């Protein structure tokens, strides 16, 4: 089968600035299924959905130290994705299998070592959109589950604040919080997103951080959290972090999922010493950065999937995936997502 493989290439490293569409290049290269993926262990996928996530901004830095390797200049972007196996020289994969893992931003991927990119076969549950398996049932949802339920150890009646609350992780954190009996407060970047949090997701309070009630994020939080904050699920950093920190109750917990305010700086995250000093000063029990793989052992992934699927199917957990079509639009959408232009989980349908 001779055809064309469309690929999104990482062309230029954006240093100390926001990425732009010019940092990428879309190319079409010849692709012949008969001539690729023939070595033992190889798998060839036709990719279906690509996950666009804020952590990927850090991977655009060639010299940055991180828990995940940087993107390589001149090669396709890659990230969490869903695909279908269209050729296999690997006994663990059959043609027609639905898979998810780290796949390149391209129409077809030749995977020489499925274990290296954590490529796994899975069976979608009837009635659940496939895109959910890289949002609420994928890395963002598992991040929300592990960070809130396992790391923060919430107790009914506590106050939870979620920044970037309408995003892929935040919308799930807030709903998990409500199911656990928490008072949930969120911030978002538009009035429409605030209305969504309160009217659709059931947040107790929410505010637009771009025009906060009282004139500042701290004033808005003081109004929304009169009894202080017990858990701050941190996605933003900067002024939002400082404001929430000042209102934390003793033995409060701050799971740090992201730090969007610093992503275009060479110092994307504060050092661990900063977090530890803040933890001690404010008498907190938890204040640290975490990644979802910390919770990937034991029964936690199974518990997350089973509970979340049941809540989706009974309608008590709502999911907003912002799916846009085409690899030609992936770079522009990625850059827009980093500016908050998405409404829900940013996803590309290939």
Q: What is the largest CA-CA distance in the chain?
A: 65
Tell me: do 157 and 94 sit in the same domain.
no
* pTM across the whole model: 0.94
Label residues 281-314 b or e (16+ Cβ within 10 Å = b).
Answer: ebebebbebbebeebeeeebeeebbeebbebbee
Number of domains in the chain: 2
CB 157 within 8 A of CB 141: no
- Which of 65-74, 91-100, 124-133, 300-309 is predicted least confidently? 65-74
Tell me: do 146 and 130 sit in the same domain.
no
- Name the phi and psi angles at 3, rounded to 5: -155, -160
Helices (H) and strands (E) in the chain, counts: 8, 15
Q: What is the pLDDT of residues 200-223, one digit of tens each?
A: 999 999 999 999 999 999 999 999
Cα–Cα distance between 231 and 233 in angstroms, integer? 6
Tell me: do 217 and 337 sit in the same domain.
no
Tell me: do 158 and 124 sit in the same domain.
no
Q: What is the pLDDT of residues 103-123, one digit of tens each?
A: 999 999 999 988 877 899 999
Tell me: do 125 and 160 sit in the same domain.
no
Tell me: do 154 and 275 sit in the same domain.
yes
Based on the number of CB atoms within 10 Å of its own CB, is 323 exposed (0-12), middle (13-18) or buried (19 or more)? Answer: middle
62 pLDDT band, cuts 50/70/90, is confident
133 pLDDT band, cuts 50/70/90, is very high
Question: Within a domain: residue 254?
Answer: yes
Tell me: do 149 and 27 sit in the same domain.
no
Question: Within a domain: residue 208?
Answer: yes
Tell me: do 30 and 81 sit in the same domain.
yes
Question: Within a domain: residue 305?
Answer: no
The answer to whether residue 67 scores a pLDDT higher than 80 is: no
Q: Averaged over 217-234, what is the pLDDT?
A: 98
Tell me the CATH number at 203: 3.40.50.720
Question: Within a domain: residue 303?
Answer: no
Question: Within a domain: residue 345?
Answer: yes
Question: Within a domain: residue 314?
Answer: no
Tell me: do 161 and 288 sit in the same domain.
yes
Cα–Cα distance between 206 and 220 in angstroms, integer? 9
Tell me: do 147 and 281 sit in the same domain.
yes
1 pLDDT band, cuts 50/70/90, is low
Tell me the CATH number at 66: 3.90.180.10
The answer to whether residue 227 scores a pLDDT higher than 80 is: yes
The answer to whether residue 141 scores a pLDDT higher than 80 is: yes
Tell me: do 164 and 88 sit in the same domain.
no
Question: Within a domain: residue 86?
Answer: yes
For residue 6, give both structure tokens. 């469309």
The reported pLDDT for the residue numbered 224 is: 98
Question: Within a domain: residue 165?
Answer: yes
Tell me: do 66 and 157 sit in the same domain.
no
Q: Which residues are within 8 A (CB) of 281 and not within 5 positions of it... i.e. 6 or more apart? A: none
The pLDDT > 90 percentage for the chain reads 90
The reported pLDDT for the residue numbered 270 is: 86
154 pLDDT band, cuts 50/70/90, is very high
Cα–Cα distance between 301 and 249 in angstroms, integer? 30
For residue 252, give both structure tokens. 């409060």
Q: What is the pLDDT of residues 6-55, one digit of tens each?
A: 999 999 999 889 999 999 999 999 999 999 999 999 999 999 999 999 99
Domain membership of residue 279 as a residue range = 139-294
């Amino acid at each position: 089968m001779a055809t064309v493989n469309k690929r999104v290439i990482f062309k230029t490293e954006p240093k100390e600035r926001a990425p732009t569409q010019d940092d990428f290049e879309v190319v079409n290269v010849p692709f012949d299924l008969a001539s690729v993926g023939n070595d033992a262990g190889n798998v060839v996928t036709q990719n279906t959905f690509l996950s666009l996530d804020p952590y990927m901004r850090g991977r655009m830095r060639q010299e940055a130290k991180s828990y995940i390797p940087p993107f390589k200049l001149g090669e396709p972007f890659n990230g969490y994705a869903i695909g279908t196996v269209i050729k296999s020289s690997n006994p663990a994969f059959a043609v027609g299998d639905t898979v998810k893992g780290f796949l390149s931003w391209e129409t077809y991927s030749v995977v020489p070592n499925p274990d290296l990119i954590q490529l796994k076969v899975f069976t979608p549950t009837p009635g659940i959109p496939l895109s959910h398996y890289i949002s609420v049932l994928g890395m963002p949802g598992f991040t929300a589950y592990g960070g809130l339920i396992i790391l923060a150890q919430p107790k009914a009646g506590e106050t939870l604040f979620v920044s970037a609350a309408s995003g892929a992780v935040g919308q799930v954190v807030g709903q998990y919080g409500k199911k656990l009996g928490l008072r949930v407060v969120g911030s978002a970047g538009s009035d429409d997103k605030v209305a969504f949090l309160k009217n659709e997701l059931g947040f107790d309070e929410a505010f637009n951080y771009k025009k906060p009630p009282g004139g500042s994020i701290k004033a808005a939080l003081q109004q929304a959290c009169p009894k202080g904050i017990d858990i701050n699920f941190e996605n933003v950093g900067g002024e939002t972090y400082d404001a929430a920190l000042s209102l934390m109750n003793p033995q409060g917990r701050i799971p740090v999922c992201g730090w969007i305010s610093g992503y275009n700086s060479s110092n994307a995250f504060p050092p661990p010493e900063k977090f530890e000093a803040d933890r001690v000063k404010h008498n907190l029990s938890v204040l640290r950065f975490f990644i979802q793989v910390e919770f990937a052992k034991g029964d936690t992934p199974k518990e997350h999937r089973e509970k979340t699927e049941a809540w989706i199917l009974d309608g008590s957990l709502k999911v907003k995936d912002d799916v846009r079509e085409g690899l030609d639009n992936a770079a522009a959408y990625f850059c827009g997502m980093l500016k908050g232009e998405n409404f829900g989980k940013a996803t590309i349908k290939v």
